[in-house]
Amino acid sequence: MATVSRYINHRETVSDEIVNRIRPVMQELNYVPLVAARNLASRKTGIIGLLSFTVEYGFFGPLVTGLEKTLKENGYNLLVATYPPDHNDEIAPPIGPHNADGVVVFSNTLSEERLAEWYGMQFPIVLVHRTAPHSLPIPCVNVENKTASFKLVEHLIEEHGKKQIIFMRPSGYQEDAHSRELAYKAALKAHSIVFDPNLIIGGNYDQGAGRQAMEEFLANNPPSFDAVFAGDDDLAVSVISALQNAGLRVPEDMAVVGFDDQRFARLFVPALTTVHAPTEEVGRVAGQQMLNVLRGQPFDCMTVLPTEVVIRQSCGCCQ
């Protein structure tokens, strides 16, 4: 048994004579090593999870790409699962200490109580697009939200004379959206524009919900606004669709800007003015931080990747 185990796991050199005796028997018996049994013996699964309350956002493709590349290069497989935050007290997450070596958690998918529980178990966790709860030294990877959002709103004000600017945010609390909203308010204040709470529209980071929120706002309010800062590019596209359906032109009648610089942003008509966020790099860095935790190596508690404003046509510029 020990010799067969060494051959299957490539742990020690097995002579060609022994290999030529083992292989035919394995083929005759159709023997395949049982991964579950191997995992029980080693207490390792070779799996890292990515847990999110949704995978519908357009930027998940690059995020998964960056994460998966880093993990695969180091012998790990990536398993992606969704877990709505309102299930935190009802059912266990589909990925966790019971079936993975570590989990990358997106935004507010897990409650602080669950994160504290896993951390107390010494289970490896990395957070993306969220900072760790107070006193928990869990590595976090995020993008710079406030400065870029401030510059984007400032561009609408200074270059295009916009003063009645809508901010479209998701329903519920998300740290990224909150930071972008704070920057939006700060830009208004810096230019002596009175903040109007009626110009905050709640929706989801989902094109269908975003369009519905914009259509409902138009139905109940005269079009007295002159620009929209959408919390991400998916929302920006849904806003443009709703505006055009209402007979309003972008950017001639309304300027629209987004955040993330998703792959479609430059191809959309009009091309979308937005903030470029290095989403694939977020995944890559999160994967490296996870490897550092697994190996007992030093990790960064907070990584904030730079962003930059990308000017295109949807704001009114001619680039």
Point out the least confidently predicted range of 43-47, 123-127, 145-149.
43-47
Query: Would the pLDDT of 39 be above 80?
Result: no
| Strand ranges across the sheet with 77-82 | 77-82, 47-52, 102-106, 125-128, 140-143, 302-305
User: What torsion, rounded to 10 degrees, do the Cα atoms 13, 15, 21, 25 define?
Assistant: 10
Q: How confident is the model at residue 8 (pLDDT cuts 50, 70, 90)?
A: confident
Lowest mean pLDDT among 66-80, 85-99, 100-114, 172-186: 85-99
Predicted local confidence at residue 205, as pLDDT: 57
Task: Give the pLDDT mean for 164-171.
Answer: 89
Summary mean pLDDT of the chain = 89
pLDDT-based confidence at 233, cuts 50/70/90?
very high
Distance CA 173, CA 125 (A): 21
What does the block give as tokens for 230?
């959408």
Ordered domains of the chain (ranges, CATH): 2-33 (no CATH), 45-143+279-306 (3.40.50.2300), 146-278 (3.40.50.2300)
Phi and psi based region of residue 79 (left: phi greater than 0; alpha: psi -120 to 50; beta: remaining): beta
Mean pLDDT check: name the lowest of 133-137, 290-294, 309-313.
133-137
Q: What is the pLDDT of residue 20?
A: 84
- Cβ-based burial of 111 (10 A; exposed 0-12, middle 13-18, buried ≥19): middle
238-277 confidence digits (pLDDT tens)? 999 999 999 999 999 999 999 999 999 999 999 999 999 9
What local confidence, expressed as pLDDT, does residue 186 receive? 98
pLDDT at 139 over 50: yes
**Measured distance CA(51)–CA(154) in Å, rounded:** 35
pTM equals 0.83
Coil/strand/helix, residue 200: strand
283: helix, strand or coil? helix
User: Are 134 and 197 a contacting pair, CB within 8 Å?
Assistant: no
Q: Is the pLDDT of residue 300 over 70?
A: yes
The residue that leads in pLDDT, 30 or 93, is 93
